[in-house]
Amino acid sequence: MFAAGALLLIIGAATGFAGGYWIAVRRPRVPVPPVTPTPKPLPPPPRPSLYPMQVLRGEDIAALLERDALELADELRPFLTDVARQHGATEVTLWRHSGGDGGALEIVAWSGDGMLPLAALWGTPPERALVQWSAAEQMVGFERRDGEPRVAICPVRFASGESAGAIVLITAERFGTSRDALRDWLPRHAAQVGRLVSLFSTRNEVARQSRFTRALLRIARDLQRTHQPDVLEKALCSYAVEVTGGEFALLVRWDAAQRAGRVAASSEQTPETLREGLVTPGSVAGTACVEGSAAFWEDARFLAERGGLLREDDRGIVAGSMAVLPMMRGAQSIGALVVGASRPGVLRALEIRNGSVLSALAVNALEAAWELAESSRRSRTDALTGLWNRRHFDEQLERVLAETDRFGGSCALVIADIDFFKKVNDTYGHDAGDVVLQRVSAVLHEGVRTVDVCARLGGEELALILPQTSPEGAMELAERLRQRIEAMTVAHAGAAIGVTVSMGVATYRAGDDGKGSMFKRADERLYAAKHGGRNAVVG
């Protein structure tokens, strides 16, 4: 007796939860063009098995929705058959909006066996129009033939009151129940169908939420095991897609002190315009980070009027539904997960709550990984110029040489030395020397690719490692950089300081004997450039 009472309490709570949820989160009316449904065989096939810890990816969600639709038709058939028998109907069908509130209707269950009837081919055009009208206007309707009702229609609502569609009775000759009796009985049948559909949906939501909970527990363990920032960032975007049912996700790293951020990582399906770049405080994502509050839109299309997702001047919102979930450390945001889908209504409040849990779980692991990476970067960076230091240079040169042997091609090394640097220090002071060194370093850093390595070896000596670069390409780059430096003037304390550099260039081709002597050869050519008159490139 106690178990039965507990079961009734659980079912009642679940129904109340579904009702409260749909009252609190009303979906906007989105017109959906009629789509001819594909016939579905009945009874449903066996349930597809999902690995117990597998997270619901997009294709899994599609499979589950297909399975749920088949199960719903199977669950409702006995009730619809009883309704048909009670009123002498040839068949009873349940029509439901295919795209949420409003829009086209499709047949999702019926009293017959075999394949579901196609809504586009059911009955006559006037009868189909009457079904649409009855569902839209929430009114009981009858289609007569020879003075007798041939079709009887009653709108159906969920327990929360949201419009669901209509229950339709049709007969070949005449119903076994009078028109007045049908008008009295149809609302009762429709209310019962609404309750059954609501209970079915609630049961599926509870089961789905259980799968999400198990997934979140697994993700929490994975996050603690991952310490590489790039791996963790990418995984977090994938997890966000999985637990919310979105189509894409991106991770924003936010600097609260600077009131600015950048895109740290993105999932595979993220639109190209959102994959990288700065995030400004006036954008949708930036505003959520500044205010530290989650934002969710089932229909995000109107947000284009507010400006860009990442920057005020970008191309606007690219999603039909979207959520921005800040990751908070105390009262400050360290970043945010942005989840989107191309169509309105794909993201729902229940799954977005899972995304909020995910962002909270990720804060500690992500912040620790970022701090470790920053600490490592500082230990490998020259404090004055911001370039890599000698330690990092040595490691990267060894890596590039090994990759050249593995993948073929050639790489290059350029060593540069500022001409008469001691004279600059003696004439203008060490502060001026520091400014000159910083300006030259900036020219070198800005003039190379992101895959190249720009380092300060010590003093006024700088170096460039150029992966997959030919001897001709290395010489051309070095000469171009030399000319830029020669053309600039460094202003300091009222003085205009002219600067030149000398450069030595060495290259290595996969399989050659000069791998171990590459640095020595570049240094010797730098020495030759110095003794040949300076302000020159020798290769």
Cis status of the peptide bond prior to 43, with omega within 30 of 0: yes
SS3 291: helix
Q: What angle do CA 348, 350, 351 make, to 5 degrees?
A: 70
Neighbours of 516 (CB within 10 A): 9
Phi, psi angles (nearest 5°) of residue 466: -120, 95
Residues 6+ apart with CB under 8 A from 454: 387, 388, 441, 444, 445, 448, 462, 463, 464
CA 235 to chain centroid: 11
Instruction: Output DSSP code: residue 259.
Output: T
CB burial of residue 424 (10 Å; 0-12, 13-18, 19+): buried
Phi, psi angles (nearest 5°) of residue 91: -155, 155
Residues 6+ apart with CB under 8 A from 140: 134, 152, 153, 154, 155, 183, 186, 187
Nearest Cα to Cα of residue 37 among 69, 84, 14, 68: 69
Q: Which residue, chain included where needed, has tokens 């001819």?
A: 36
The residues that are catalytic are 460
Between helix 349-379 and helix 179-225 the angle, nearest 10°, is: 10
Distance of alpha carbon 169 from alpha carbon 110, whole angstroms: 10
